[in-house]
Amino acid sequence: QVQLAESGGGLVQAGGSLRLSCAASGLTFSSYAMGWFRQAPGKEREFVAGIIRSGGITYYADSVKGRFTISRDNARNLVYLQMNSVKPEDTAVYYCAAQRTYSNSYNYADKRGYEYWGQGTQVIVSS
């Protein structure tokens, strides 16, 4: 079956960096667009970053643009989220998600379009 497993979360000071990883199995990874979402306590799950199947196009929420970078390694079935200059408001559980796509045009920010989700990894940013 399809599994997405996030890792790399933890406690980091404001201004620091963290890299999250998501290992995918049970699917043809290169056929899926990938996304990172996050959910803070008492809030809705929100889009953070997305990347098309080939990795050639990326998308970001305004709140993380210029600080976070999404990338993928299709040979190893991995997707990453490099988080730099983190802020306390980045504190959340971070989830990776997979969406089967047939073109580069898709609704990357809508969580309802993603078929598979990981269990999440906690990120806490201290001030």
pLDDT tens profile 3-34 = 999 999 999 999 999 999 999 999 999 999 99
Q: Supply the pLDDT for residue 104.
A: 86
What would the pLDDT profile of 49-81 be if each residue is shown by its tens digit? 999 999 999 999 999 999 999 999 999 999 999
15's CB contacts (< 8 A; 6+ apart) are 85, 86
Cross-strand pairs, 47: 37
